[in-house]
Structures are given as C-alpha cells and as structure tokens.
Amino acid sequence: MALCWEDLPMDKIDKKILISLQNDARVTVADLSEQVSLTSSPCWRRVKALEESGVIRGYHAELDPRRLGYDVTAFVSVMLENHRIDVGDSFEVAVQGIPQVVACHNVSGRYDFMLEVVATDLEAFGEFARNVLRTLPGVKEIYSSFSLKSIKHQRRLPLP
C-alpha cells in the first residue's frame, strides 16, 4: 500500500515548497528558504524528505512543442477488440515504447485508452495513426480529436 498524505504529515511550509517547485524546479534552496521563511538547512531537509517520500517524483524541463516542430497535438481514444487482460497488457507495453505518445491512460467509458500524441503536422499524424496506432495489438477503433488551442498546460496540482 502506497503511503498517502495522511501518513505523511505535510504542513503549510511543505505545501509552499511544493508550490514553488512546481512553478520553478530550479529555484535555489537559498531563495526557497526565504520564500517559506526558514533558513536553508531545514528547507533543504524538507525538500529531500519530500523527494524520498515520493511526493516529488522528479524535475523536468517543459519544452515548447511548436518550437520543436510539433504543430499537431491530438487526443486519441482507443477501443480494444476485447477486454481480456493480456490484450490490454501488450497494448500498454507497446504504447510505452512509442515516443510520439506523450501520455496514456486506461480509462472508463466507451473507449479503453486515451492517448496524447504529438506530430509535426496533420499528414504525419495521419500516417502515424494508420501505420502505428491502428496496428497496435488488439486495436478495434480509434477516434482522434485535435487540439486547436492549448488553454492550460501547466499541470500544477492544487495544494489546498
């Protein structure tokens, strides 16, 4: 059983630290400690504790897809042929290895999986859907919806 938040008492200072690190993962401990009204040692110890407890999974650079030539972001809903466990498993494994798939969830509802896919343009996406997605193990039906505009992309979790 994973630790959850009742097990790890997190006070207001920890929350402030997490807010800051979600905003800017590269703040110095010196700045961070000032923001949370602490000296750097206890602040540093808290950050380490949050990392080790698994609350902080990692630190990542956020890149601009368009500046990298990815003009297309698509949400692809995938329905599998049947719901046997092994079919889902091999689909999941296959998806992990496809770099164009930037996120994937097993979901409830009409479809089984929801993928977020990037592509350089619509043509490249079409080819990708035809040659890669449709040929994945057990795929029965796919439905693609394209992002016309990204309204909100900072994926910050609220810290009440």
Q: Which positions lie near a second copy, rule CB under 8 A? A: 2-6, 8, 18, 21-26, 53-70, 73, 75, 92, 95-96, 99-111, 113-114, 116, 118, 143-159
Structure tokens at 30: 């010196």
Contact of 56 with 96, CB cutoff 8 Å: no
> Which has the closest alpha carbon to 66: 157, 155, 156, 153?
153
- Please identify which residue in 23, 24, 28, 102 interacts with DNA, judged by CB under 7 A: 28
- Please identify which residue in 38, 80, 115, 139 interacts with DNA, judged by CB under 7 A: 38
Compute the least distance from the CB of residue 120 to DNA, in Å.
23
Greatest alpha-carbon span in the chain: 58
Site for DNA, rule CB under 7 A:
9, 13, 28-31, 38-42, 44-46, 49
